[in-house]
Structure 1
Amino acid sequence: MHDHDRVLILDFGSQYTQLIARRIREERVYCEIHPPTRDVEWVREWGASGIILSGGPSSVYDEGVPTLDPAILELGVPILGICYGMQLVAHLGGAKVERGKREYGRAGLRVVEASGLFDGFDPAEESQIWCSHGDHVDTPPPGFRVLASTSSLPVAAFGNEDLGIYGVQFHPEVAHSVRGEEVLSNFLFSICHCSPSWTAGAFIDESVARIRAQVGDEAAVICGLSGGVDSSVAATLVHRAVGDRLTCIFVDNGLLRKGEREGVERTFRKHMGIRLVVVDAADRFLDALEGVEDPEQKRKAIGGVFIDVFNQTAIDEGTGATFLVQGTLYPDVIESVSAGGPSVTIKTHHNVGGLPDDMPFDLVEPLRELFKDEVRQVGRELGLPEEFIGRHPFPGPGLGIRVLGEVHRERLDTLREADAIYLEEIREAGLYDEIWQAFAVLLPVRSVGVMGDARTYDHVVALRAVTSRDGMTADWYPMPHEVLSRISTRIINEVDGVNRVAYDISSKPPATIEWE
């Protein structure tokens, strides 16, 4: 990626680090997240146009907290410290970091002068910012001057223009800092002098060249195609690079949404001209799920069968492939390089992962530098139909983790029909693109109802719809009551065995988006 200006983000454990990266990418500047243990030689060789030090939960005075190689501050590369990153700059520069003044939420920022980091701001006006800290700086380090303050923070921002080093005590990357994007933009373009050249078209050209260099002129490649956005874009990108040497394998596990298999066959075999092998393995997956209720055990069972079916199909088809395409995304990569190590496992990743070490393939991961929204941009640039690019995320284990409790063919059919009605109605209402993810869940309970003057004791379907930017946090979508009414009426009238529909109004956190 040396053809582009690029920004290095050193992650000190902030929950917002990925947001920093996303904001920079939105400005069409390439960036990567790395741990703060990188030494000055590594940073120098990486060749950053600018460096951002993230926030974090630590205090600079605690034992064993992440810190920074002080020599990085002397590289002559512009640096922006955010929250803990600012405190670390102050601490290493000889200033005192004050402890015990907790501040969470909104505050009013007033800048000293409208230049540099705050170019375009009016010193006579306050702008809303978002704070989340327990320590702060009352006096900037020697050589630095105060750039902004709030009613409770005498030093909400400081800087040394000669060194190109700045710090802000607030979080410009979050939406609640209403002009935070301007602060980051000023840092990127006025201070780091970056060029906004990180585009979908540039990524495609560079990726095709990289794939060809990795695979060579003769090797065969296989891809496990799920029909989701990630695998569809990855497959199309690799196909552009190697052509007919790519074989895609689509495993029908019996856990798909209504019409999923037919849509994949129609798009990739008939319209995209990609060699596609479809395997009907529903019975094998359902046999493996018999008697399994625990969601983690479901994931392991589904993943194990998938690997067996995929490997056997690759052998049976005689592809002779030595390379395997995976739709790994950047959030999957950076989870393993945070300041505190990998995040706690809430549940195994939705995409089938954990490939055995003895699988005879080298991995091709063309999307490992991208966030989800960037994958969609690349897909559109590649000419994939919007029905694939704009679709909501769908977990690798499919309906297996949306049928709560034990999975049976009959329960899958019930959920499949209810889910299809739900998605059809929100599309008809023009709401699909406003919602980040929507799906139905079949609960492991029955409820009493009345139909045709007779008592029923049938299934309960829960509906989930959330808004989100990247799936890390999410809020429930305020579905119009008249739309909910139509959906509920149709599901109860048209899906046998359902007499009750509920709507989930939980946010993430504390809930997760998927129920299992």
Structure 2
Amino acid sequence: MTTNTQITEDRILILDFGSQYSQLIARRVREAGVYSEMYAYDMSEEDIRAFNPNGIILSGGPESVHEEGSPRAPEVVFNLGVPVLGICYGLQTMSAQLGGKVEPGTVHEFGYAEVNIQVRDKLIGDLEDTKDQLKVWMSHGDKVTAIPEGFQITASTPSCPVAMVSDETRRFYGIQFHPEVTHTAKGAELLSNFVHSICGCRSLWNSENIIDLRVEQLRQQIGDQKVLLGLSGGVDSSVVAALLHRAIGDQLTCVFVDNGLLRLNEGEQVMDMFAKNMGIRVIRADAEERFLTALAGEVDPEKKRKIIGREFIEVFAEEARKLDGVNFLAQGTIYPDVIESAATKNGKAHVIKSHHNVGGLPDDLAFELVEPIRDLFKDEVRRLGTTLGLPHEMLYRHPFPGPGLGVRILGEVKKEYADILRLADDIFMQELRASGWYDKTAQA
């Protein structure tokens, strides 16, 4: 029997060199049933050792190993005695650091390619799309021209003689293409071979085990105290509500702020699902008039967003002050939020727009935070919700901005505009569903 603490014991560390696909690597590893975390490439030796990974993956990245100050993997990566997989730039920096040679390519490879398998090592195994070939997705300029001592070339393309390499003794592997994208047909299987066959990880990371672990952790953190959650009806807060209710039952109180800028019948749907069907205590704050008054005359989208965020916090705070003995505030922070926040602090990402959440509460509301899904990707959150019994249409509904129709209305926000837009949106969504296109589109 698997104990709850074991499900993250088998773990893969992903060092991020800035690829747009890095988060996909972590998702694919988790889809293979293995826990993974992603950190910047310059993670300290102390932190790497403390993480105690079963294996390490070096991501791709936009840099060239020839550029002065271009990123390198910490030396401990190659001295830890665990398997290492270098992807694209990860292969190039591993090769350069271990004594190989990397040169600028005369032909840049971007897009579909077929690699010819030369040696079937433990990473490739019996995988192939056609006889001794893999259909892959390339995205690189530089290429490895001389492999480090102890390595062998296991696959190539006409323009990329070193497409895959391995040192089976040290369990170091490198691939010039991107296995994490769906365009690489056998990419998920390659990553599965790495984490299971090479790193020896067990498939312990699944929804049932995650729920058991979270319920145990929430009960330990919260004890017999009360928890407050801002419920929006979106995927993240809905799953947090269901998870908390399973863990602590009536100790949870949700506040649903109806700002008059929701989709058609959304307020009733939220109340029916959580209050009626699940028996969760939900306070509905009807604040339409308040929000519309605050927005009167404002046409700038960013200012509207900030007004809505400010009013939301004030309404939420007023409802919170009416409750006695609440010590915890729950939030639906997810793993990409954590990763992007860290990148912003490091100067490696830029804020495109302000985010609307329950942050910024007044000082007199000093809650301890509860963030039970902060290490999960959105697809994992949805699978968790399915296991918790939430309906498909709630978990797979299209994203809707926190400020709601307020930022979809061009110019000033008025009740009559919101009512028209609500109906138009509902007609459009009905047609998408009737034609079978709703689930095929990510957002509309």
TM class by shorter chain equals: over 0.9
Give the structure 1 partner of residue 409 of structure 2: 403
Between Structure 1 and Structure 2, how many residues are aligned?
Answer: 435
Specify the code of the residue in structure 1 equivalent to 2:189: E
1:272-421 matched pairs, under 5 angstroms: 272-316=278-322, 318-338=323-343, 341-349=347-355, 351-352=356-357, 354-356=359-361, 358=363, 359-421=365-427
CA distance in 1, matches of 2:210, 2:187: 27
Kept in 2, the 8 Å contact 1:255–1:412? The answer is: yes
Q: Could you give the per-residue CA deviations for residues 240-286 of structure 1, whole angstroms, max 9, x where no partner exists?
A: 11111111000000100010011111111111111110011111211
Q: CA deviation at 1:63?
A: 2.6
Specify the code of the residue in structure 1 equivalent to 2:414: H
**TM-score with structure 1 setting the length:** 0.81
Q: Which has the higher contact order (CA 8 A, sep 6+)?
A: 2
Give the structure 1 partner of residue 433 of structure 2: 427
Kept in 2, the 8 Å contact 1:108–1:151? The answer is: no
Give the structure 2 partner of residue 129 of structure 1: 136
Give the structure 2 partner of residue 44 of structure 1: 49
Task: Give 5+ residue unaligned stretches, structure 1.
Answer: 439-516
SS of equivalent to 2:174: strand
Specify the code of the residue in structure 2 equivalent to 1:75: L
Q: Could you give the per-residue CA deviations for residues 194-253 of structure 1, whole angstroms, max 9, x where no partner exists?
A: 111111010001001111111122x11100000111101101111111111111000000
SS of equivalent to 1:170: coil
CA distance in 1, matches of 2:349, 2:300: 22
Give the structure 1 partner of residue 251 of structure 2: 245
Kept in 2, the 8 Å contact 1:147–1:159? The answer is: yes
Classify 1:124/1:271 alpha carbon distance in 2 versus 1 (closer, same or farther; 3 Å): closer
SS of equivalent to 2:350: coil
1:58 aligns to 2:59 (yes or no): no
Specify the code of the residue in structure 1 equivalent to 2:184: S
CA distance in 1, matches of 2:328, 2:264: 31
Give the structure 1 partner of residue 190 of structure 2: 183
CA distance in 1, matches of 2:368, 2:57: 33
**TM-score with structure 2 setting the length:** 0.94
Q: Could you give the per-residue CA deviations for residues 302-353 of structure 1, whole angstroms, max 9, x where no partner exists?
A: 111100110011112x23211111011111111133496452222223x425
SS of equivalent to 1:367: coil
Q: CA deviation at 1:177?
A: 1.5
Give the structure 1 partner of residue 239 of structure 2: 233
CA distance in 2, matches of 1:22, 1:426: 29
Specify the code of the residue in structure 2 equivalent to 1:3: I
CA distance in 1, matches of 2:150, 2:29: 28
Give the structure 1 partner of residue 230 of structure 2: 224
CA distance in 1, matches of 2:343, 2:232: 29
Give the structure 1 partner of residue 95 of structure 2: 90
SS of equivalent to 1:94: coil
CA distance in 1, matches of 2:105, 2:343: 25
SS of equivalent to 2:289: helix
1:479-498 matched pairs, under 5 angstroms: none
| Aligned mate of 1:109, from 103, 115, 131 | 115
1:258-273 matched pairs, under 5 angstroms: 258-273=264-279
Q: Which moved more, 1:55-64 or 1:29-38?
A: 55-64
Kept in 1, the 8 Å contact 2:382–2:396? The answer is: yes
Specify the code of the residue in structure 2 equivalent to 1:432: Y
SS of equivalent to 1:129: strand
Query: What RMSD over aligned residues (CA atoms) do the two structures have, in Å?
Result: 1.7
Give the structure 1 partner of residue 28 of structure 2: 23
CA distance in 2, matches of 1:149, 1:379: 43
Specify the code of the residue in structure 2 equivalent to 1:79: V
Q: CA deviation at 1:64?
A: 2.8
Kept in 2, the 8 Å contact 1:352–1:397? The answer is: no
Specify the code of the residue in structure 2 equivalent to 1:81: G
Q: Could you give the per-residue CA deviations for residues 402-445 of structure 1, whole angstroms, max 9, x where no partner exists?
A: 1122211111111001111111222223332222222xxxxxxx
Q: Could you give the per-residue CA deviations for residues 349-392 of structure 1, whole angstroms, max 9, x where no partner exists?
A: 3x425424734111111111111111111111111233322322
SS of equivalent to 2:254: strand
1:156 aligns to 2:163 (yes or no): yes
Identical amino acids, percent of aligned pairs: 52
1:81 aligns to 2:81 (yes or no): no
Q: Could you give the per-residue CA deviations for residues 57-112 of structure 1, whole angstroms, max 9, x where no partner exists?
A: 11223233222211221111111011111111011101121024432122210111
CA distance in 2, matches of 1:353, 1:307: 6
CA distance in 1, matches of 2:369, 2:182: 36
